[in-house]
């Protein structure tokens, strides 16, 4: 059975001020470009309580901190290598 990944990005104000909007746009494009839209459920989330280390991403229950635009591609590649 195909495994689905649930991924949430924090949309709280602190992560917003740390650039989560650009990261959201990058992730959306990445999922579409790699035909992962049906394998990855991507949603926004409320504050995850790790505000000073944001932007924060939660992938299948594991929080990844400091998801800056410069790092997001390598994070996604590592997470999704088995799906692409
Ligand atoms: S605002 Fe993102 S963890 Fe608090």
Q: If one looks up domain 5-80 in CATH, what number appears? A: 3.40.30.10
Can you spell out the DSSP letters for 6-20? EEEEE-SHHHHHTTH
Judge if the beta carbon of residue 9 lies within 6 A of ligand 1.
no
The tokens describing 57, both together, are 């991403």
Residue to probe by mutation, ligand 1, list 15, 57, 68, most atoms within 8 Å of CB: 15
Task: Report how far ligand 1's centroid is from the alpha carbon of 2 (Å).
Answer: 31
For residues 84 and 82, give the distance between their C-alpha atoms in angstroms, rounded to a whole number.
6
- Residue 83 is predicted with a pLDDT of 82
pTM score, whole prediction? 0.92
Q: Where residue 2 falls among pLDDT bands split at 50, 70, 90?
A: low
Backbone region of residue 47 per phi and psi (left: phi > 0; alpha: psi in -120 to 50; beta: other values) = beta
Ligand 1 pocket check for 24: Cβ under 6 Å = no
Question: Judging by DSSP bridges, how do beta strands 62-64 and 57-59 pair with one another?
Answer: antiparallel
Point out the ligand 1 atom lying closest to the alpha carbon of residue 10. 2
- What residues contact residue 75 under an 8 Å CB cut-off, 6+ apart? 57, 64, 67
């Amino acid at each position: 059975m195909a495994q689905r990944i649930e991924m949430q990005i924090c949309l709280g104000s602190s992560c917003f001020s740390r650039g989560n909007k650009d990261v959201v746009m990058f992730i959306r494009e990445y999922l579409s470009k790699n035909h992962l839209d049906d394998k990855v459920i991507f949603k926004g989330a409320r504050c995850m309580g790790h505000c000073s280390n944001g932007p924060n991403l939660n992938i299948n229950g594991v929080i990844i901190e400091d998801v800056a635009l410069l790092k997001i591609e390598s994070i996604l590649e590592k997470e999704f290598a088995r799906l692409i």
